Each structure stands twice: as structure tokens, then as C-alpha cells.
A and B are shown apart, each in its own frame.
Chain A
Amino acid sequence: MKADVRLVGLGKRYGEVGAVEGLSLDVAAGELVSLLGPSGCGKTTTLRLVAGFITPDDGEIWVGDRRLSSRDAVVPPERRRMAMIFQSYALWPHLTVAQNVAYGLRFKSDVPRSDRDRRVAEMLRVVQLAGLEHRYPGELSGGQQQRVAVARALVVEPDILLLDEPLSNLDANLREEMRFEIRRLHEAFGITTLYVTHDQAEAMVISDRVAVLERGRLAQVGRAEDLFRRPRSRFVAEFIGKTNIIDAVATGPDTVARAALRLRVDAKDLTAGAPVLVSVRPHEIELSTGPVPRTPDNAFAGVVRRASYVGTAVDYQVTLAGTDVTLRVTAPVTVRLAAGDTVAVRLDPAACVALPPAP
């Protein structure tokens, strides 16, 4: 049964510290939303609130038309019709793979006993673990254990699926592979999913939408592309992908200045004199040898400070002439510059995002 999840003004405090504050988020039925942020941002607390392991201090959690959590009443985890995949997988060492996977089926009244084995076998096939039914978790590799955890969660056909950094214990290659696997499974089963991670690349690959959390609050939620191209705060800009931040002051509705530097940015209604942060992604800065183009906006002369060949691209640090601004630039390998070279730098105004100053 697909269901939507609504977090309404959720709050949880531990002593003086607010782990989650005023968090409101809607997850549509069948959607996969990532809770993304650095450690301590409250994403795991939020997940555990949704699971029912913690009671909120403020706010409510609704799934479909059931209010599952509020300050006064919490439906216990076993009655929320959810499933969870833990960071440590939490496989029971004294039960076989088949027994682990079959565990939740016992509590589903609509699955007769005779059907359980079939469903377990089917699910193990789906996660490509057929043949390992009688092994114990201790005998499996990390990747296999993870898939058992996935099978165990999916076989009960939960309304909501919760994942708590399920890939962080895997090595880099496996992690990449599993990202796609999880996305594939999501598309196959279509369960409403909340996915906690600190890895923004992972979030962007897996999710329908990403919710970025900073110190217990929702910083921004949206599709990966929106967050990437239109971050609405410095935190989000810096957390999602790499970026350059220029501290400037607005001089007009779409212009800013920092000392001698003048920039046209992608904005419409800046107040002159107001402080503004400009975010521009490294790969959206053009470098060229030869003279500085005469295009009216955002063209500067610069000096290369450092060049690092990364194989797929070249990473440069370029200081804009006559300013104290050094930008990080990711350029295609066709442009080979060395430290000390003079270079023409062009910033597309559409790629310069104006952000409010950090509070």
C-alpha cells in the first residue's frame, strides 16, 4: 500500500540541544526522498522519529490518514507498517539468511504460512542471493549482508521504507554499484522511501528529491538539479557539489561588487548596499588563453596559481587580476595551463547564484 508521509513541525531536543527543530516535509506516495546533511544535522533523529523509536517534543508525523506520532501519543514501531535497513544491517547472527528474511512475514496476517517460503525465495532471487538461504550472516561478505537486509525489508511490502546510511560500510566500488541497485529496486517496487545519507553524490543519484538538513532544520528541499543549480543558502551551495563563494555587496538589482570586481549575477531584485554571497560552480567557469573577451559581463583577466591534472579534467586555482578573489576552476583537459600563466576567465551570469549572507 503506497502511502505518503507528512512531517509537520517536528521537533526533538536532547537537553539544551535541538536535534530537530521545526521540520516540515511532505513525501509523496511512491517517492524516494533523501535526508542529506553532515553528521549531527538531525537526519538520523528524523528517521528514528518516523520509525517510532523516539517520541517528538513538538509536531506530528502522518502517514496517509493516520497520525502516527505526536508529543502525546506514538504508535509503536511494530504497528506502523514500515521497514528499516540499518547502517549495520542488524542481521540476527543466530538465524539463517532465510530465517532473517522471513521474520517479518509472520506478523502479516494476510500472508499464509504456506506462502512464506515462496516469498522469501522470490525476494532472495531478486537481490541475487539465491542459494544462500541456509547460511548464517557471519559467513557472508559485507555486500551480501547488505542485500539480506534489503530483502528482509522489502519482503514484508511495507507502506514506508526507511534506510539509514545503508551503503556507508561498503567499499567505494560496491557503493557505486549498490546506488544504482537501490534505485532500480525502488523503481521496481515503488515504496515510499526515506533515505538518510551524508554523501551528496549518492543522494543525487538515488533520490526523487533531496532534503538538506543543517543543524536540525530543513535548509532546502527539491530535485537534485534544483539544489545544485539554484541553492538558496551558502550551506546548501557548499554541501551539494563544490563551489566558489564570493563575498560581495549588491550594487543593483542584478549586480554585485567586491572592491574592484564587478559581477552580474542571476538575480532580479537585489537591494543596493545589501551584502550578498555569490556562488559559482568550478565547472561553470570558462578559461581561455588569449585576450580577455570583450563581452560585457563577468570577463576578467586572471593568473593561474595551481594546476592539478585529475585525468578527466584539470583543477585550477585562478586569482582574478587586481582582486583578492581566487576561484577554483574545473576545466576540460583541452585547456592546459600551468602555474603562472595568464588566463582569461569568464563567468556566465546565469551560473552566478546570489545567496543571502550566512546568518
Chain B
Amino acid sequence: MRGLDLSLPVWALATLLLLALIGLPIGWLVALSVTGEHGLTLAHYVDAFRSVALRRALWNTVVMAFWVGVLSVAIGAPLAWLTARTDLPGRRLLRALVMASFVTPPFLGAVAWVMLAGPNAGVLNKLWRSLTGREAALLDIFTMPGLIFVVAIYTFPYVYVMIGNTLELVASDLEEAAAVLGAGRLTTARTITLPLVAPAIVSGFIVSVLQALALFGSPAILALPAGFHTLTTQVWGMFQYPPRIETAAAVSLPLLVATALLLMLQRRLLGRRGYAVVGGKGGTRRRLALRAWRYPALLGCFVVMACAVLLPYGVLARTAFSRAWAQPLTWDNLTLRNWTFTFFEYSATRSAIVNTLELGLLTASVGAGLAALLAYVARRRTIVGHQLVGFVALAPIAIPGVVLAVALFIAYTRPPLILYGTLWILFVAYVTKEMPVGYAQCDATFRTIPAELEEAGRILGARPLRVLGEITAPLARSGIIAAWCFIFIGVIRELSASIILFTASTKVMSVVIFDLKEEGQFGAIAVLGLFMIVMTFGVVLLMERVLGRDFLGVRE
């Protein structure tokens, strides 16, 4: 499209972005990892690899991430198939619950599960004991399997969405052809659908692994009490006084390389639809009749959603109103004390809520705007090197939150730009981290707006800016709003970068909740956690009303 040569300003913007968000911090990361007291050195790397504690943490991280990937696929794939391909009753409710799991911050889920499955005081274990009279606990959440479980139930929605979208795009007549030839339902699913969806499954596995690698909150809450570390908790520990930032840098870089490699593998598998948050092309599909299988299927879905949503929310609600969370819920255990404390006595609450909202609104607005601009420019190929734009916008996926935080910390606690101590460093971290999601959504949106619609306006006499405003913008509106929502939600639940970058005056809600956990203040955690969930849901529901569709994108 000629006439509007956006090349120079867009390139300037993109380069600035690249530099500030990624180049500078990563540059400092690399520099610091090889800087010793007397110049260049590999000592930090050597220290890191020699340290038994770090090696053990690495092993724990690998084991955890791998099994989280497996479990996420084991949960997400069947659920996606049931929703997209069968006549399972209550599909809409199921999707709503999956979305609830998606927006729940994993560290909040971890706290809830401590209250549910702590081996002695956990609600479920107590129930088990009273029902069976046994002494030993049924579940112990303070174990590696416990950690894997809790992480997986909040990671599977990614797999669910990816596979759901892929199933949308797989024409059902391929399956019908198999049916005509005599293949039974399961045989068809196994031999036709499965191979077609296989790339999406592997891709979902990799995304889950990437998510798990980068988590801080859940390992800190579940692994530390059990006496083991992951890489993220170790890196965080290196910021304790006296800080070992150089070692942190030396640990972060290999982690970054590993995730980048994984990501490249994943993109290759799914072609260029790396992050499939797409409104699929749909069309009526023939649905599989489950008949008698519907009951076990429903049961399975119920169990999953109970674990991810119903039980945790329930125990949080109960704790919010309890004087002592582990005591039975009797009349004299009920209290509003937690609420008054959290909102009126605990001075950190209000400023944290304000900070979180400010950052959420700012990041989402700037992020969505930027993502829309970049996605538009890339899709319309208006500038030289448009392929690079997409790469730049999506690159941050490869950077685990804690690595990003370390890099940003190093870069912005020294001249020329000292952002540490202000909300701005958090803003930079959030925009960087959430840009890929926003970009992927905007990219998918512009894919549905062919260039011809704009050309038709141009040839009839409208100038490029007018075309953007009158034709492109209204059509892209709902997609960009969806991107806004994704970014907003991502900011609210972010912990792994915030925990390193915050200062006393720039706390956000996730950090406050983590602080409270370190003190064992379950009542206040429950109150804040519920508040956080309600806030997130409020935004999501508002947006759904505005958009009129389920913006997770997986259609019925």
C-alpha cells in the first residue's frame, strides 16, 4: 500500500523497542555474567555449574517442567477434543471453567492447595481421616508430584486453547471419510484426528514446559517447605544480601538459550501459527455422540475443574471468612476480621491495589496499541524488513520472567536510565513479557481483515489515515480489545519478575500476597486473592459483553 511511508518512524520505534526492552537488558546480562573483579572471566559460569545446590535445582526444574508438560497435555487435549468434537453436555460451562483456570494466578492456586492438601491440616486430608479413620494423609502437596500437579492444573488451558483451535481448522470431513469406511469413533479419533493434531499437541507440550520453567510462585510456596529448590527460586535467592548478581546472570543465560531453542522447535512444528489464539474458521461439524461414555467423560471433566477452580476457590472463600482456617467452619469461627484487616489496617493493601491497577491499565493500553501497530505494519508489509517486526514482537516469549527481571534489574539500576525504584521498571518488564500475547492476538485479527478492504477505500478517494480510522479500526476493534484483556490479565497475575523488581513503594498485589504467605497470613491472602480474582473476572466479563463472544476463541 503506497502513499503512507511508515518506514522510518516505525523502524525507529521498533528499534527503540528492541533496544530498550530486550537488547540493553540482555546485553547487560551477558556483560555481567562474564565480568569479574579483574576484567573478563568465566568464573561465574564455573561457580554456577560447580554448585551442587544449583545442579540439583536445575534437575528439579527439568523434572518438574517435563511432567507439567505431560500432565497439561493429558488434561488439555482430551478436554479440547470433548469440547470441540463431541456432544458432551455442559460444554459452555466447561469452557467457562477452563477460562477461570486460565485467569487464576498459579501462586494463588498453590496457596489454596496448601490449605487443601497440607498433609496434616489440609481440608481434604482431614476429610479423608474422618471418613476412613486412617492416620496417614491421603495427599501431601509439599512434594514434587504435588508441585507438578498444582502447576499443571493452571497450565493446561494453554494446551486446551491450542488444540481446540487446531481441531477447529481440521475439516471434519476427513473424519467422516474414515467413518464411512467403517472406522469406529475411537479408531477415527486415534488414527485420523490424532495424527492431524499431533503437531499442536507437541507444541502445547512445549508451551507448557516453557510456562513451568519460568514459574516462581508455586515452587516458592510448595517446594521450599519441602526442602528443594528450582532454578527460579535459586535465582531469587541470589538477590538476598549479599547479592550474587553475576552468578544470577550466569545462571540466567543458559536458561534463556534453552527456552529460545525450545521455542524455535515449537514454531517449526506449528508452522507460523506459533501461538494459536485464533478465532477459527468453524463451520458446522458433525459431533460424536458419546452415549454411555458421556458419564465417565463428565466425571473426568468435573474432577479436573474441581481441582483447578471449585476446590481452590471454595477454600479461599472459606478462609476469607474464618478466624482460623484449619478449624471447622462453625459460627464462632466466622469473622469479617480478615476483611477489615486487609483493607483497613494493612497499609500495603491500598497502594498495592492502586499500583496493580495503574500498571495493568497502562501496560494493557500501551501494549495493545503497540502490538496493533506492529502487527498491522507486519501484515500489510508496508515497510522494509517486515518479517523482522514479527520476530521482535514475539521474541520475549523466549525469556523466562525471572531472567527478564535479572536483566532489567542490571540494566536499569545504573546510568543512563535508572528506573529501579519506580513503577516504570515494572512497566517495562510487563510490556516486554506480555507483548507476544498481544501481538499474536492482533496478528490473528488483522489476518481477518484483507488488504483489499483498505484498498477499496483508497481508490475511492480516502486517504490512508482515514481508511485506518473508518475501515480498519472498527473491524479490528474486537480483536484489539481481546489483546488488551490478555495483557491486563497477564499483568495482574505476574509474580516471577515483580518479586525481583519491586521496592517498598512499588509493591503490586501479587507481591503482597507472596509477602503475606511468607508470614503465614492465610486470612489476608484469601481476601486479597478473592479480590484479585473478582477484579480479573470483572474485566473479562465486561469485555465479553462488549465483544459479544468468548474471546478465548475456541468455538463450540
Contacts and interface: CB of A to CB of B under 8 A. Distances in A.
Interface stretch (A25-33, A78-86, A178-186, A189-197): A78-86
A53 B461 contact: no
Nearest to B477: A94
Interface string B449-464: 0101101111111111
A263 to B, nearest CB: 50
A107 B461 contact: yes
A103 B459 contact: no
Contacts of A162: 459
B459 A83 contact: yes
A106 to B, nearest CB: 8
Contact of B2 (A52, A92, A104, A107): A52
A107 B460 contact: yes
A229 to B, nearest CB: 37
A264 to B, nearest CB: 52
B94 interface: no
A103 B455 contact: no
Most A CB within 10 A of own CB, among B1, B453, B475: B453
A100 to B, nearest CB: 9
Contacts of B462: 78, 103-104, 106-107
B474 interface: yes
A93 interface: yes
A77 interface: yes
A103 B458 CA distance: 11
Contact of A74 (B2, B453, B464): B2
Contacts of B452: 86, 88, 90
- B-side interface mostly: helix
A156 B475 contact: no
Contacts of B456: 84, 86, 90-92, 152
B459 A77 contact: yes
A78 B461 contact: yes
B470 to A, nearest CB: 8
B2 to A, nearest CB: 6
A92 B457 CA distance: 9
Contacts of A88: 450, 452
Contacts of A90: 450, 452-453, 455-456
A55 interface: yes
B453 A92 contact: yes
A77 B452 CA distance: 13
B43 interface: no
B227 interface: no
A76 B463 CA distance: 9
B193 to A, nearest CB: 31
A108 B460 CA distance: 9
A345 B66 CA distance: 79
Interface string B463-502: 1100000010011000000000000000000000000000
Given A54-B2, A94-B474, A108 B461 contact: yes
Interface string B186-202: 00000000000000000
B138 to A, nearest CB: 56
Given A83-B459, A86-B455, A77 B475 contact: no
Interface string A213-225: 0000000000000
Contacts of A82: 459
B416 interface: no
Given A76-B3, A77-B2, A94 B475 contact: yes
A51 interface: yes
A77 B459 CA distance: 5
A112 to B, nearest CB: 16
A83 B460 contact: yes
A103 B457 contact: yes
Nearest to B1: A53
Interface of A: 51-55, 74, 76-80, 82-84, 86, 88, 90-94, 103-104, 106-108, 152-153, 156, 162
Closest CB pairs A-B (n = 8): A107-B461, A104-B460, A76-B3, A90-B456, A90-B452, A77-B458, A84-B459, A86-B452
5 contacts: A54-B2, A74-B2, A92-B457, A92-B475, A103-B462
Given A52-B2, A103-B457, 5 more contacts: A53-B1, A78-B3, A78-B459, A86-B456, A90-B455
